[in-house]
Amino acid sequence: MQNARVTFAVVHGLGEHGGRYGRFARGMAAHGMATYAVDLRGHGESAGRRGHVDSWSQWIEDAAAFVEQVDKESQGEVIPLGHSFGGVVMLSAVRSGRLKRARRFIVSSPALRLTKEVPAALDVASKALARVLPKLTVGNNVDPATISRIPEMVEAYRTDPLVHSKITTRLYAEWRRACAENLAHAAEIRIPFLILAGTDDRLIDPESSRELHRKAPEMSELRMLEGRYHEPFNDLGSDEVFAIISEWVQKQ
C-alpha cells in the first residue's frame, strides 16, 4: 500500500515466519495502514541454522536493520510490532536504543513466560548445555492447537513447510535472559507501546503481559483480549483486534 500514513514492521515468533502475517496485513489495510514482515535468521526463507542464534543481540540487529529498511521505503510513520518471541526481541531493541526513529511500538502475546514453566533442574541443565553444546537442537514444544480457535489456521500452521519446531540450547538460554532483563528494566522504556494478550493463551502466560504493563504503566497500554489464543491476528474476533490497533494508532 503506497503512501500509507502508517506502516507496520512486523517481527514474527519462534518457529514461524513473516509470510504468516497476511491476515494481519489485510486487516490493517482495511484501516488504511500498510504492513511489512521479516524472516529472522534461522527462520522462514532467511539463512541460518533453524531455531538458533549465537547471541540475542543478533536478532536485535536483524530487527533494527529491518525496521530501518522499512522506514526508508515508507512515507508515513513506521510502527514496529513484535509477536511472541518477536515481542521480546522488540522490547530488547527498544531498550537498547536500536530503534532510534520509532515513536511507539506494539507487542503481541510477548513470550515473557511460558504457561507451563520448565522444571528448575531442566532449566539449569539447559543453561549448562548452552555453554558446551550451544547448537544442540530440541523441539520447541509448540502445539499448533494453541495458536488459534480457527481449525483452518491451525492446519495451515501444521502444514506450512516454512514453519519449524526447533530451538537450540543457546537460543533458549538467550531468550530466558532477555525475558528477565526486559521485565526487570521495563520502566526504562521511554516511548509508548501497546500490549496485546489473549486471556486464554495456552502457550504464553497472559499474566506476564500484565506484569510488563505494571512495570511500565506510564508508557504502556494493555489490552487483554477475552477468550483469544496465542495468535490474536489469526484467531476468532481478529477484526476487533485490528480495530483496537487502529484506535490506539489514531489516539496516540
> What confidence tens digit (pLDDT) does each residue in 176-222 have?
999 999 999 999 999 999 999 999 999 999 999 999 999 999 999 99
43 pLDDT exceeds 80? yes
- % of the chain with per-residue pLDDT over 90: 86
How open is the CA angle 60-219-78, to the nearest 5 degrees?
Answer: 50
Average pLDDT, the chain: 93
Mean pLDDT confidence for 224-233: 98
Cα–Cα distance between 113 and 47 in angstroms, integer? 28
Catalytic site residue 84?
A: yes
Q: Say if residue 115's pLDDT is above 50.
A: yes
In whole angstroms, give the CA distance from residue 118 to residue 113. Answer: 10
Whole-prediction pTM value?
A: 0.94
201, 205, 220, 238: the catalytic one is 201
Across 106-110, 128-132, 139-143, 149-153, least confident range:
128-132
pLDDT at 119: 47
Q: Give the pLDDT confidence score for residue 31 in this predicted structure.
A: 97
> What's the confidence (pLDDT) of residue 121?
47
Say which amino acid occupies 197.
A
| CA dist., res. 56 & res. 73, Å (int) | 26
Q: How far apart are CA 17 and CA 12, in angstroms?
A: 6
Gap between the Cα atoms of 235 and 230, Å rounded = 8
Active site residue 126: no
> Which of these ranges, 66-70, 121-125, 152-156, 177-181, has the smallest mean pLDDT?
121-125
Cell numbers at 222, concatenated: 494493555
Lookup: cell for 102 = 520509532
- Say yes or no to pLDDT of 2 above 70: no
pLDDT of 120 reads 54
Which of 12, 83, 84, 148 does the annotation list as catalytic?
84
Q: What angle do CA 46, 208, 202 make, to 5 degrees?
A: 70
> Residue 3 has what pLDDT?
78
- Catalytic residue check, 201: yes
Q: Which residues, other chains included, contact 192 with Cβ-Cβ below 8 Å and sequence gap of 6+?
A: 103, 104, 219, 220, 221, 252
| pLDDT exceeds cutoff 70 at 16 | yes
Coil/strand/helix, residue 156: helix
From 155, 131, 141, 140, select the one nearest 234 (Cα to Cα). Answer: 155
| Segment 33-39 mean pLDDT | 98
pLDDT at position 159 is 98
Predicted confidence (pLDDT) at residue 134 exceeds the cutoff of 90: no
Mean of the pLDDT values across residues 101-109? 97
Mean pLDDT along residues 150-179: 96
Which of 52, 83, 213, 230 is an active site residue? Answer: 230
Question: What integer pLDDT is reported at residue 116 of this predicted model?
Answer: 72
What is the DSSP code (8-state) at residue 219? T
Pick the closest to residue 210 from 191, 229, 197, 225 (CA basis).
Answer: 197
Position 16, amino acid: E
pLDDT of 44 higher than 50: yes
